[in-house]
Structure formats: C-alpha cells, structure tokens
Amino acid sequence: MNDSKDTDVSENKPDIEELAEKAINYISERKYSELKLFLVDMNPADIAELMEELPERNLPIVFRILPKELASEVFVHIEGDTREVLIASFSDKELKEVFDELYLDDTVDIIEEMPASVVKRILKHAAPDMREEINKLLNYPKDSAGSIMTPEYVDLKKDLTVEESFRRIRRTALDKETIYTCYVRDDNRKLIGLVTVKELLVADYHDKISDIMETNVISVRTTDDREEVANMFSKYDFLAMPVVDNENRLVGIVTFDDIMDVMQDEVTEDIEKMAAISPTDKPYTRMNPLELWKKRIPWLLLLMISATFTGMIITSFEEALAKFVILTSFIPMLMDTGGNSGSQASVTVIRSLSLNDIEFSDLPKVVWKEIRVALLCGSTLATANFLKLLTIDRMILGHSEITVQVAFVVCITLVATVVCAKVIGCSLPIIAQKIGFDPAVMASPFITTLVDAVSLVIYFRIATILLHI
Amino acid sequence: MNDSKDTDVSENKPDIEELAEKAINYISERKYSELKLFLVDMNPADIAELMEELPERNLPIVFRILPKELASEVFVHIEGDTREVLIASFSDKELKEVFDELYLDDTVDIIEEMPASVVKRILKHAAPDMREEINKLLNYPKDSAGSIMTPEYVDLKKDLTVEESFRRIRRTALDKETIYTCYVRDDNRKLIGLVTVKELLVADYHDKISDIMETNVISVRTTDDREEVANMFSKYDFLAMPVVDNENRLVGIVTFDDIMDVMQDEVTEDIEKMAAISPTDKPYTRMNPLELWKKRIPWLLLLMISATFTGMIITSFEEALAKFVILTSFIPMLMDTGGNSGSQASVTVIRSLSLNDIEFSDLPKVVWKEIRVALLCGSTLATANFLKLLTIDRMILGHSEITVQVAFVVCITLVATVVCAKVIGCSLPIIAQKIGFDPAVMASPFITTLVDAVSLVIYFRIATILLHI
C-alpha cells in the first residue's frame, strides 16, 4: 500500500528507525546544523520516538539542538526513562527553561512519574506562582478530574463584544493548550456560559458574548473519576470539559488529548484486571520480571488456593470415579466449557457496565437474557457432544464404557453447567459494581474457578443419580 | 458529592430519567411550548438519551418540536432502533430536511446501520451531488479510514493572506464539522500544508498562508485501518487527520469525535475476541438471545472439541490414575493455574501489540522476560503449595496418601506448567499477528485449552517417572 517512497509531504507514516539511523550518522559526523534542519521538520511526537532509539549519551546533544519551544513539545512526548536521563543532564537553567514552556497539565503528568529527588529539583526551580499551581494540582486524588485538568483556559467576560474577545484570545493564545472553547465566568468565578471560536467566527463583530454564549454548560467536578470524564467526552464530543469545584467555580479544563490517554489507560487497566493482573501505569516493555511477578502472583496464589477446593470436590467423589473411570476424562471438557461460557457472559457484561450501557436495575433483564442464551448454547453443545460420544467415541473408537447413560450424564451436565456459568458470569460483575467493587475483577479467572467447582458438583450429582452409583 | 441540587448552569450530570418523566408529563398535558422551551436548553446528546426513555408513540412529537438544526444533532446521537422508529414516522420532506442538516460522515454512519429499504428511501430523497458523495464513502472498505472520513473540511490556497483566510473560514464554517485545522492543497489537489485557527489567530493579518503553514503534514490513506488511524490520533494529539488517496490527493478528514468512537469500538472488539466471542457492532442491550448465541456458539463448540483431547490424555493415563487416585484431585488446580498464568501473559502481550508497544522483532526479548517471570511465579506457587500439602492436607486433614513424593510431583509440575503456559501465552499472539491473524483471538480461552493439555502431559510424565508407576 505504502508504495510511494518519495519524500513527499504526505508520505504516510515516517519510518522512525530509518530516521534514527540518519540522526546517528549526523551526530557521529558532527553535522549538527544538518541534524537541526532535519529534526525541526519533524513532528514532536516523532522526534520523541526517534530519541528513544538513540544511545543515551546522544540524548542531551539532540535535545539541545532543538529550538526551545519544539524541545518542550518533544519533552512531553518522550517516555519516562528517557526523560529522567535528560533531566539528569540538564543544568538548572535548562530545567527551568524546559518546564517554563510546558502546559501545566503536562508538567503535572511528568512530575507524577518522576522520582522524589527529581520532583524536588523541578519544584525548586519553578517560579513561585507556578509552584503553587503545580502543588495544587498534585494534591487532587489520583485518577480524579482535578488531577488531569489544566488551569490554563481562555476566559471571557459576558459583556465583551466578539471583536474584543478575539483580541483577548489572540493576546493569550500562545500560553493555552486549547483556545477553541472559551469560558464565561460571573464575578464570583462561577461558570455561567461558554462560546466556541467557531461561534465567534460566524457571529457579528459587535455581538455581545452574553447574547451568543451557550448557557447550558455541562461540567465535571474536580473529584469526579477520570473514567467518568472520559465517558462524558465521548458522549458529548467536547474538545474540552470544564472542571468546577464544589461551589461551581470554574477551576480548570480537561483537554481531549489527555482524555484519549485516559481512555487507553483505563482500558488497559480493565483488560489487566480481567486477566487477573494488578493494574499498573507502566507499559509492559518497561517492567522488569520482578515487577511483573509482583503484579501477577497475588492473583495466581488466590486462584490456586480456590482451585484446591475444586480438587476437594473430586476427592469426595473418589468412589464414584473409581467405579466409572471414564467419567474422569470428561472433567477437562466440562470445566473448560463452563469457564468459557461464564467468561463470555462476564466479559460482555463488564464491558457494557464500563460503557454505561447497563446498570444495576438491568440485572433481572440481563440474567433472563443470559438464561435463554445459555439454554441455546447448552443444548447445541449437548447435542453435538451426544452425537460425537455415541458415534466417534463409542462406535468408531470403540470405547464401550461410553454407554447411552454416560452420554446422557455428560450432556445434561453440559446444559446445566452452561446455564450456571452464564448466570454467575453475568450477575457477579453487576453485583460487584453495586457493592462498590471493580466489576472487571469478576472476569474469566475468577468466574472460571467458581464455575469449575459448580460444574463438578453438578456433574457428580447427576452421575450418582442417573448411573445409580 | 452531587449535593447541590439547584438547577444551576453547571449542575454536573443531568438526571435523564427525571427529565424524561418531566417530558412525558408535558406531553400528556399537551404543553408543547413548555416542552420545547425545556428541550432546547438541553445538550443534543442528553435529548437523545431522554428520547430513548420515552414511549415510541411520543418520539415523533418530541422530534418535531425541536428546531431543525437541533433535531438533526439529536438524530446523530440517538440509537439505531429509535432512529428507525423516527425515520418510519417521517414524511419524505422531513427525511430530506433532517439529512440535509447532517455532516456527511454522520450520514454515512447512520446509513451503514439502517436496513436496505430505509437506505434506499434516504438516498432517493438526497440531493444528487450528496447522493454521489454518500455512495463514494459507502464504497470504502469497512473499518478503513475512508469509511469514517468526511469530505467536508476547510481548504485554503497558499497565496491567501490570513485576513482572506478568515473571511473564507467564516463563510464556510457552518457546513463544516471541524474548522480548527485548515488544509492547503496545490493545483493538483495534493496536500501541501496545514494551518490551525490558533496559528491564524496569532499571525499578522497580512501574513501569507504559505509563510505560516506547516509543511510537514502527517496523513493517512483512505485504505488504512481505522485502528491505525486511532493510534496516530493519540500519538500526535490531532483534532483532525487528513486522508489522502494513492496519489496523495486530499480527499477528506477524520475528526476526533469519530476517533473516540472508533477507539471504544476497537477495544470492545478486542475484549470480545479475548473472551471467545465473535465481535459485533451492536451493543449487548440491543442483541436478542439468538444473536448472542450466534456470536458465542462457534467458539464454544471449537473449544469443547479441543478440550476433548485433554480428556483423551487423562484416559491414556487411566492406569496410573487408578493406582494413585489422589493425583486426580490436583487436576483442576494444575489446569486452572496453567490457564491463568498463560492468559496473564497473553493478555498483556495482546494489549501491548495493539498499543504498538511491542512488535514481532521483540519476540525473543518477550519470551526471555516471561520465562523469568514464570520461574518466579512458578516457584512461589510451588513453595506455597508444597507447604500446604504437607501441613494442612497431610498433617491437619490427615490425607496420608499425600506423600512427599506426591507433593514433589505436584510442585514440579506447577513450575513446569507455569513456564510453558507463559511462553505459549506470550508467543502465540505475536506469532499470530506476524502471520496475519488477529492476536486477540490468542487470549484466555484458546490458551487455556492448549495449556490444559500441556499441563496434563507434563503432570503424568513427571508422575510416572517420580512415582515409578
């Protein structure tokens, strides 16, 4: 597809590794002015990616070559480890310069990732008013709207004209990350309206802000969960979301670029929890085996202990199994099918919960739906299995111990297991959320362990009754 | 938290159910002008949500009360089923009016969801040039950048001044969804640059576009996968992404609101695949049991058949099991721990692949990391288990058949199983992606089934050797 390899402006994706090699060549040949020309033409996100490919000792050179503003943009996109290397190489003056150029929400994001000693150094060299702002933002609870907002937004007075507003926007635009939504506050700093640059552009120059502003403003509170904020972004298609304190005073905005990161982080967290991993902010490639072990072992231990109970169920039916040894061979199939059926239901429900598609009051509806799905799935599986047992296994492979009764036991168990699995799978996440637990934890591993035990009990009960053991 | 219940402008989230009740009251009392005043003050996304709560027969009334432009915005946010009800109630004139107000990418999204008869009716009443555009967009492959783009963007000529540009933007702004990034094309319609409204605002009125435009433009092709486009959005923090054809001619843009939807859809798809469900665009609440069955049964059948092989492994070691019946009771624990360890690795790797955090060349590094994690996890689990077997099970519960040898067999199997599970779990998704399969399919259920078989073979091999069966 990417057949046009000319260096046309719109060559789709830059090949970062190729570009990094080029940069390394420039450095080794000390062609610094060529390197600069080569770099300033790139997107900051790409320069950051390129720098990840360079040897550590080259990082400070490359960074110092960049014009100040671009350097700061690159600094935002770079990964934590590389960022630490850079900060260590900065003089105090350089440190101040880089951070002065940053938007406040980016500064806070970066500081939250840094070790305490680096944070101290950054705060020491920040201007006093900036330090105060940073500290304020750092104090909001992790994962709250306050912790991801920026206090840098465009505010307008309601009695300004459109022309005056443009003048104000133009004057302050460079310091703001997002200027396309402007907020109107009253004298008590309460949020009373908003107006977009698009609306300003189509309005008459002499219109008053109070006449064209939208007064039905949707906002979040500083303490709201960032996942909730992300859901509101995708519902309302906002470029920025105003954040108010408990007295409805506007204290900042959350911008859409941060929300895209939040969306990805939250999803990764959910997926990790669903796979019985304690969630983390660090990407996989940056975790060492010990860190990964710490995230995974608690759940493995817990689930292993739970699974021993399943073993105890088998032990208690030892005698029955000794009489019909063939019953043992169906255990994996029954357990796996139960686990898979349960996790299909639980994962579907967990995802619907996090998209606000269902809520607690839907529980009866969901359970009833899953019972019907389970009966459909269970009877399909049972029929397929029954035919397979009596034709392939009994007739072709000659397993004479698989009688019609045994096949019945296995197939009835299948249906019952699938129904139990789906009911457990769909209801546990909803109940978990209701009582304040994270529904994502109620996914495959947990459900599987539970369903294993349930399916074995069902299996042995049905077997003892139908086979008169 | 939401303690201020006054109807202040920034009351955080509107309570839709409460508002819907109010609307129903207005309707039953035929207070239509009050209803209108009440609705026009709401956000279109909220009106859409409110309409979902209304009885079907009330939908047309509410919709007709809304001013035309607002009605179209509501129409975009409404869910498919409700939309069909509305369209069925529209006269041809109304249908045309609603669709005339829509942005083209929204029109196409809506049309893609509708049954053929409705699509025919919509296209029949569209203006000829619009019909042509719609058909063009409908022809791009599903999930491609072309299928989610809109041809409505602001284009500027490179020799315009900033002042002239503003005049052009102002004139055309109302018809465009996103005006904040303007694109510059040469005479061959090739994309040669872009300029943001923010840059225009801070520039001098007499500057030429060619002097201030960014020439290093990142773009995607019409045929690029929409997931790839979403990844580029979150990397570059764009508000809109230009889409070019094979000759680098600008044909449209993808806007960030569509990308947020894409991100959520892709994640839902991945999560569904990981749970052995065929992905679907329809939300869970809108699927009936038969549709859900269709999405779930193929995988359940496939996995059930695979699990019967695991059963065959047990059968082939029947004799050994008959001698040491206690070995049977550890089967669920070993299988579950293997499955959980494997899915931890596979899910982590699948997520890293979809975030472009790892690629095929990282395979050896990933496998080596997982081996070390597996040895750590495996030995922890084995130690815990060994102690439990010899203290709780043997000494306290008096299971004299659990000898030190048996405990050894179980614990060595544990370590070996965890190592195999993690290696299989981390490598299969990477290999799958390399050979063009979807890595998400290589998640828990698939890995579990495979690891079950592997762990049983390991178990019985070690048992026959160490216990001299």
Three-class secondary structure of residue B252 per DSSP: strand
CB contact under 8 A, A357 and B283: yes
Mean pLDDT, to the nearest integer, of A244-264? 88
Identity of the highest mean pLDDT range in A171-175, A354-358, B24-28, B117-121: B24-28
CB contact under 8 A, A285 and B362: yes
**How much is the pLDDT for B237?**
84
Phi, psi of A225 (to 5 degrees): -70, 140
User: Cα–Cα distances in Å, from A102 out to A74, A112, A174, A175, B202?
Assistant: 10, 15, 11, 9, 18
Mean pLDDT, to the nearest integer, of B1-12? 41
Mean pLDDT, to the nearest integer, of A422-445? 87
Pairing outcome for strands B191-196 and B181-185: antiparallel
CB contact under 8 A, B289 and A348: no
Give the pLDDT confidence of B39-55 residue by residue, as tens digits: 988 888 899 989 988 88
Give the pLDDT confidence of A350-367 residue by residue, as tens digits: 988 888 888 899 999 999
Residue from A357, A426, A368, A422 nearest B283 by CA: A357
Q: Taking all residues of chain A, what is their mean pLDDT, rounded to a whole number?
A: 86
Q: State the Cα–Cα distance between residues B117 and A23, nearest whole angstrom.
A: 58
Chosen from A296, A362, A456 to mutate, greatest number of chain B CBs within 10 A: A296
Q: Decide if B40 contacts B23 (C-beta within 8 A).
A: no
CB contact under 8 A, B310 and A336: yes
- Per CB-CB distance under 8 Å, the chain A contacts of B362 are 285
Q: Enter the DSSP assignment of A225.
A: B
Mean pLDDT, to the nearest integer, of B407-424? 94
Output b/e per residue, A258-268; b: 16+ Cβ within 10 A.
bbbebbbbbbb
**How much is the pLDDT for A459?**
92
**How much is the pLDDT for B125?**
80
Give the pLDDT confidence of B154-200 residue by residue, as tens digits: 999 999 999 999 999 988 887 787 889 999 998 888 999 999 999 99
Whether residue B207 has pLDDT greater than 80 = yes
- Per CB-CB distance under 8 Å, the chain A contacts of B234 are 257, 260-261, 264
Q: Residue A410 has which token pair?
A: 């296995």
Nearest-Cα distance to chain A for B131, in Å, is: 26
Mean pLDDT, to the nearest integer, of A19-42? 89
Least confident of A10-14, A22-26, A387-391, B273-277: A10-14
Burial of B99 per CB tally in 10 Å (0-12, 13-18, 19+): buried
**How much is the pLDDT for B283?**
82
Give the pLDDT confidence of B347-356 residue by residue, as tens digits: 899 988 888 8
Q: Which of residues 199-218 of B touch A (CB under 8 A)?
A: 201-202, 215-218
The residue with tokens 């299988």 is B335
Domains defined along chain B, listed by start: 16-142 (1.25.60.10), 154-272 (3.10.580.10), 284-466 (1.10.357.20)
Residue of B nearest to A262 (CA): B234
A134/B contact by beta carbon, under 8 A: no
Give the pLDDT confidence of A326-344 residue by residue, as tens digits: 888 888 889 889 988 998 8
Task: Report residue B211's pLDDT band, with 50, 70 and 90 as the boundaries.
Answer: very high
- Per CB-CB distance under 8 Å, the chain A contacts of B383 are none
Whether residue A441 has pLDDT greater than 60 = yes
Whether residue B5 has pLDDT greater than 60 = no
Question: What percent of chain A is modeled with pLDDT above 70?
Answer: 97
Q: Decide if A438 contacts A273 (C-beta within 8 A).
A: yes
Q: Which of A10, A310, A380 sits opposite B248 (nearest CB)?
A: A10
**How much is the pLDDT for A12?**
61
CB contact under 8 A, B333 and A284: no
Task: Report residue B413's pLDDT band, with 50, 70 and 90 as the boundaries.
Answer: very high
Identity of the highest mean pLDDT range in A107-116, A301-310, A382-391, B64-73: A382-391
Q: Which of B170, B235, B321 sits opposite A45 (nearest CB)?
A: B235
Whether residue A8 has pLDDT greater than 60 = no
- Per CB-CB distance under 8 Å, the chain A contacts of B215 are 9, 41
Task: Report residue A177's pLDDT band, with 50, 70 and 90 as the boundaries.
Answer: confident
Q: Residue B343 has which token pair?
A: 């899915």
What is the strand order of the sheet B154-156 is part of?
Answer: B154-156, B181-185, B191-196
Whether residue B1 has pLDDT greater than 50 = no
**How much is the pLDDT for B12?**
61
Output b/e per residue, B347-361; b: 16+ Cβ within 10 A.
bbbbbbbbeebbeee
**How much is the pLDDT for B113?**
78
Q: Which of residues 264-323 of A touch B (CB under 8 A)?
A: 264, 267-268, 270-272, 274-277, 283-285, 288-290, 292-293, 296-297, 299-301, 303-305, 307-308, 310-312, 314-315, 318, 321-322
**How much is the pLDDT for B8?**
40
Least confident of A328-337, B123-132, B326-335: B123-132
- Per CB-CB distance under 8 Å, the chain A contacts of B7 are none
Question: What percent of chain B is modeled with pLDDT above 90?
Answer: 25
Mean pLDDT, to the nearest integer, of A31-48? 89
- Per CB-CB distance under 8 Å, the chain B contacts of A224 are 1, 12
Q: Taking all residues of chain B, what is their mean pLDDT, rounded to a whole number?
A: 86
CB contact under 8 A, A284 and B357: yes
Least confident of A182-196, B98-112, B374-388: B98-112
Three-class secondary structure of residue B203 per DSSP: coil
**How much is the pLDDT for B165?**
93
Whether residue B4 has pLDDT greater than 50 = no
**How much is the pLDDT for B367?**
95
Is the reported ipTM for this assembly greater than 0.85?
no
Q: Which of residues 393-452 of A touch B (CB under 8 A)?
A: 418, 443-445, 448-449, 452
**How much is the pLDDT for A194?**
93
Pairs of residues, one from chain A and one from chain B, whose beta carbons lie less than 8 Å apart: 391
What is the strand order of the sheet A191-196 is part of?
Answer: A154-156, A181-185, A191-196
**How much is the pLDDT for B2?**
39
- Per CB-CB distance under 8 Å, the chain A contacts of B14 are 218
Give the pLDDT confidence of A184-209 residue by residue, as tens digits: 998 888 999 999 999 999 898 899 99
More confident residue, A15 or A11: A15
Residue from A246, A243, A221 nearest A151 by CA: A243
Nearest-Cα distance to chain B for A234, in Å, is: 6
A380/B contact by beta carbon, under 8 A: yes
Mean pLDDT, to the nearest integer, of A212-219? 89
Give the pLDDT confidence of B264-288 residue by residue, as tens digits: 888 888 888 888 888 887 888 888 8
